[in-house]
Structure 1
Amino acid sequence: MKKYLSALVAGLLFMLLSLPSVHAAEKQEPKKEQAKQTVKIPNSVLNITKENTYPNPTNDMPTLQPSEFTEELINSSKVKIENPDLIRMLNETSVNSTPFAIGYRAIIYLGQWPLNYESAETSPNWEYQKINTNYFDNRGGKANYQIHYVQEAQKVVKGGLTAKVQDADDVQKMMLLKASEKTGLPLAFQTIIGAGTKKDQIYNIPPKRLGYLYGYAPAVNEKGKVTYGEVYLMLKGNKKMIIVKNVTSQGIGAWIPVQDHVSFGFVASERPR
């Protein structure tokens, strides 16, 4: 429903305003800035982007740049507005000022929105989900046996919110942006490791031992608070402002996989595991 609000707002403004006119604001190209990696990746975690037989799409989510009109509206709000979809909608609608709008007043309801997400904790789990096991029995051998990682079956690793919330897609976008900014890791709510993916790193299984090479998909656990509110566009004379009413906050968490990375654990055992 929200994707139609932009057209609805433009139509309402056109009918209500005889002096100010409504027009489409020119969209600004978002700035694509590479987030600096702030989380140290352990030596046991390897990047498989080149080796992955399933080409995951690049999850590039640059911050949407508000237009001048949208920036003015956002700054007029007493509640922080960071929702990319709400900013995009405001970018698509603008109102021209006119010196003859004295005494004019209009209030337009834009709907209830998740307005911002405040991150409280971001922590990686390098063994979020086991995706593969390579095994060899060298109990009858007289020398070391070398094995390396080979993905035996395609594996889909999904993250998601830890609780049901309103407008979950909007909340996920804001949490993904914050977690990516804080960690600098390539995060996505879904990543796929293709069958036959290989890595050349060698692991030695001594004689009289069974060797197990475990592969895990890492993920980031993101926790924080999302703020909701009812958004109104107020036009009063030449002034334009955003008013937010009935503000509520809710704690929320999410698991977000690290794209195209595998964490390895190697065990050489005398007995089957």
Structure 2
Amino acid sequence: MKKYRVIFILLLSLLVLSSTIQAENKKPSPSDKQKANIPNSVLDITKENTYPNPTQDLPYLQPSELTQELIDTSKVEIENPNLIRMLNESTMNKSPFSIGMRATIYLGEWPLNYSSTETAPNWEYQKINTNYYDNRSGKSNYKLHYVQEAQKKVNGGLTAKVPHSEDVQKMMLLKAMEKTKLPLSFKTIIGAGTKKDQVYNIEPKRLGYLYAYAPAVNEKGKITYGEVYLVMKGSKRTIVVKNVTSQGIGAWIPVQDHVSFGFVASDSPR
């Protein structure tokens, strides 16, 4: 009986150890990523916005078969959509007469990839509107609604000047959109006359202020640059990256067609 008990304990220990190892080795899948937690004070105004913002549709550009083969030969990760597009548009036939041919083609210095270290939303990035009502002489609650008094353009951008800033912005935007699942754009416009049905009650003998803010995401990370060469030896094609450098970079990226509200009731003017 004692012998069977020892065997049972050993088997149980092995089972627990196996489960622990599997749990530690399990990596979160892309579906495990959580959408940014939007506060109740932030409302979607896509339908109400009197200015139709263009939808930011930035799908990941799929490399062609040849481009993928070239990217796989690089020791530095390449994810710049514009560089991938240029390689996709290139044609290089493998001719049997290319034996002995040697060539090195300089493709220029490129921002090759962006690594995100922090993505943090600021729900009150920029004040865009104030609605006000004085109910100090009123005898009942006054229902205050949001009405955008003037068209407001909200711009984001990089926090520092870097080479090929448009390419860098595109890579940062893609990464931030992937992490937050929010409709992000480096420019968004809230049209005059945009309204929302949300009610904010102002009690008698009080003044009410309804502040509206455009939210944005603060994206921070590291951009990697390098000089890209296409090397051809016979029928073999490879990409070689030289003089690799990295630098920290940040950006503010507005959340498109979203407004954050803050309501304050006061006894005296603010």
1:65 aligns with 2:58: no
Post-superposition offset of 1:37: 6.1
**Partner residue of 2:53?**
56
1:134-145 equivalent positions in 2, closer than 5 A: 134-145=131-142
User: Equivalents in 1 of 2:238, 2:117: separation in Å?
Assistant: 30
Q: Is the 8 A contact 1:74 1:242 kept in 2?
A: yes
**Partner residue of 1:193?**
190
**Partner residue of 1:170?**
167
Amino acid at match of 1:141: G
CA deviation profile, 1:222-271 (whole Å, cap 9, x unmatched): 00000000000001111101000000001000000000000000000111
**Partner residue of 1:5?**
none
**2:154 pairs with one of 152, 157, 160:** 157
Instruction: Describe the SS at the equivalent of 2:98.
Output: coil
1:25-174 equivalent positions in 2, closer than 5 A: 38-174=35-171
Instruction: Describe the SS at the equivalent of 1:38.
Output: coil
User: Equivalents in 1 of 2:97, 2:161: separation in Å?
Assistant: 48
Amino acid at match of 1:165: V
Amino acid at match of 2:259: V
1:253 aligns with 2:253: no
Normalized against structure 1, the TM-score is what?
Answer: 0.86
Q: Is the 8 A contact 1:149 1:200 kept in 2?
A: yes
User: Equivalents in 1 of 2:224, 2:111: separation in Å?
Assistant: 6
User: Equivalents in 1 of 2:142, 2:98: separation in Å?
Assistant: 83
1:235 aligns with 2:232: yes
User: Equivalents in 1 of 2:180, 2:75: separation in Å?
Assistant: 29
Amino acid at match of 2:183: P
Q: Is the 8 A contact 1:37 1:185 kept in 2?
A: no
User: Equivalents in 2 of 1:76, 1:94: separation in Å?
Assistant: 17
Amino acid at match of 1:196: G
1:209 aligns with 2:178: no
CA deviation profile, 1:13-47 (whole Å, cap 9, x unmatched): xxxxxxxxxxxxxxxxxxxxxxx761011110000
Instruction: Describe the SS at the equivalent of 1:228.
Output: strand
Normalized against structure 2, the TM-score is what?
Answer: 0.87
User: Equivalents in 1 of 2:143, 2:47: separation in Å?
Assistant: 23
RMSD: 1.2
* Structure 1 or 2: more helix by fraction: 2
Which of these two proteins has the greater Rg computed from alpha carbons?
Answer: 2
User: Equivalents in 2 of 1:267, 1:140: separation in Å?
Assistant: 18
Aligned residues: 239
Amino acid at match of 1:84: P
Q: Give identity over the alignment, percent.
A: 78
User: Equivalents in 2 of 1:127, 1:196: separation in Å?
Assistant: 21
Amino acid at match of 1:258: V
